[in-house]
Structure 1
Amino acid sequence: MNHLENYSLPTRVLLVEDYAIIRLATKVLIKETFKSAIIHEAATLRDGISCLEAHEIDLVLLDIQLPDSEGVAMISKIRMVQPKVRILIFSGLNEQIYGLHYIKAGANGFLSKDATKDQMQAAISATLNDRRFLSEVMQGKILNENMYPGFVPENPLEALSIRELEVMDMLLDGLWVKEIANQLGLTESSVSTYKSKIFERLGVTTLIELYTEAEKFRQ
C-alpha cells in the first residue's frame, strides 16, 4: 500500500508531546515514510500554539495528556490559529473511552500510542488526504452505537461524557474541586455535580474507590 497516496510533499508536521523520547521515536517513524517532512516539536500546548502562529502546518500530531492540556477544547484552540489544519490525536489513553469524544470535537483521527508502524503511516496518510482515521475498534464501537440504540458498553467509563472524563482525570491527579473549576472555567458547584455523577455511575463513594475502579477500566 502506498501510504503517501496523492499528498504532495514536503509534509509540515507539528508534534505536540511532552516526552522527548516519544517525540524522537515518532519523528523517526514519520521520516521513514515522509522523507521530506518538516517536523516541528512542542512539549506543551502553549508552545504548540506559538509554533502554529509562526509556521504553516499541514498536520498536528497531538497528545492529550500535556502539562497544560485543555481536553477537547484544544481542538478549537488550535483551529482558531489555523482553521484548516488536520489534527490527529496521538494518545496512550484508552481509545474506546476517549477516541469518539475527540472525533466528535473535530479531530481528524485518534491514534493509540500502542499502534504499529503501519497503523501510524495509515493514520497520517488518511488525515493528510482529508479523511477521518478510525481504527477497527472505533469503527466497531460506532457501529454498535448506531445499530443498537440504548447499547450499554461493558466498560462504565465509556458511558461518561467528555466533561465527566476530564473531571475524573483531574480528581485522579489529586486536584481539588476549586482547582478543577479554575482550570476548566466552571463553577465549583458544576464540578461537584460532575463529581457526584461520576461516583454514581462507577458505584463508588470515595476517591480511593474511584482510583481503584478507574484503573481497572482505563487500561
Structure 2
Amino acid sequence: MEGMRVLLVDDHSLVRAGIRALLGSIAGVAGIEEASSGRQAVELAATMQPDLVLMDIAMDDMDGLAATRTIAAAHPHIKVVILSMHDTGDFFEQALRCGARGYLLKDAAVAELEMAIAAVMRGDVYLSPAVSRHLVGNMLARPPEDERAASVLTPRQTEILELIGSGLGTKEIARRLDLSVKTVEAHRAQIMERLGVRDIANLLLEAARRGLITLGKRSTTLDAPR
C-alpha cells in the first residue's frame, strides 16, 4: 500500500476529521483528499485519480451508491470501500452491484479498517462479519429462481465454489485440492459464466441466493479475477 492516495467522502466534517486521523496512522497512506458529496467525489476522482475511495452512502446532491457506480464505471482501477452506518442487507447488495470492493460499518475497529484497505488494494473483496451475516441472510431469504441451479456445476466446480464461499483465495484452494492456480482460475471463470455473473462480488451474491454456498460468520475476503 506504499504511496496510496485516498479520497474520503462524507457530508459530516467531524466524521471526515475522525477518519482522516485514523488513516494517518495506517502505513502506506501518502495523501488524503476530502469530498462532502457524491458529486464532488465523482469530480475529484476524475482529477485526483486516487487509489482508494472511502465512501459514505447518505449524502445530499448525489448519494454514495450513485457516486460509486459512476466512479467504478469510469475508473475501474479505483477501489471503492463503503463506510456507512446502514446495516441492512439491501444496502450491502446494492453497494456491491454498484462496484464497491468492500463494505464496513462505521463502528468497525481501526484494525478492521486497515484489514479492509489491505484486502481491496491487493484486489480482493472485503466484507466485515456483520455485513456477511446480513447479506447472506438477505440472499437466502429469497426463493431461488431455479431449484436445479446446482446441476449447472460439475462436482469439482461445486467444491471450488464452496471453498471460495468459505473465504479461501485462489492459491489456498489450489494447494488444498492439489491443483494448479491456472486450473482453479479456469474453473472459477466457468462457474461465473454458468451462474451468469462477471465478478467475484456478484458471484458471492448469486451463489448465496441460490443456496449453493453458506458463508461463515468470519470476515470474508475473496480474490478478484485476474
Q: Aligned pair 1:96/2:82, yes or no?
A: no
Opposite residue 59 of structure 1, the aligned amino acid is L
5 Å-filtered alignment, 1:11-160, equals 11-34=4-27, 36-70=29-63, 72-144=65-137, 150=143
Distance in 1 (alpha carbons) for counterparts of 2:9 and 2:142: 36
Alignment CA distance shift 1:116-1:77 (3 Å): same
| Corresponding letter in the other structure for 2:65 | V
Q: Name the SS of the counterpart of 2:107 in structure 1.
A: coil
2:83 and 2:106 in contact (8 A); partners too: yes
CA 97–114 in structure 1, closer or farther in 2 if over 3 Å, else same: farther
DSSP 3-state at the match of 1:33: coil
1:113 Cα deviation from its structure 2 partner = 0.7
Over residues 150-181 of structure 1, what are the superposed CA-to-partner deviations in whole Å (9 max), with x where a residue is unaligned? 39xxxxxxxxxxxxxxxxxxxxxxxxxxxxxx
Judged with a 3 Å threshold, the aligned counterparts in structure 2 of structure 1 residues 83 and 119 are, in CA distance, closer, same or farther, namely same
- SS of 1:90's partner is strand
CA RMSD, aligned part only?
Answer: 2.3
Cα separation, 1, equivalents of 2:41 and 2:52: 12
Q: What is the total number of aligned residue pairs between the two structures?
A: 144
- Per the normalisation by structure 1, the TM-score is 0.59
Q: What letter matches 1:34 in structure 2?
A: A
- The one-letter code sitting in structure 1 at the alignment partner of 2:13 is A
Q: Give the equivalent residue in structure 2 for 1:175.
A: none
Structure 1 unaligned residues grouped into runs of 5+ = 1-6, 152-219
SS at match of 1:110: strand
Q: Which amino acid aligns with 1:125?
A: A
Provide the rounded CA distance (Å) in 2 between the counterparts of 1:107 and 1:22: 20
Once the 2 structures are TM-superposed, how far is the Cα of residue 97 of structure 1 from its aligned partner?
A: 4.1
TM-score, normalised by the number of residues in structure 2: 0.57
**Which aligned pairs between 1:154-193 and structure 2 lie closer than 5 A?**
none
Structure 2 residue ranges without an equivalent (≥5): 145-226
Contact kept, 8 Å, 1:44 with 1:68, in 2: the verdict is yes
Distance 1:44 1:146, change over 3 A: closer
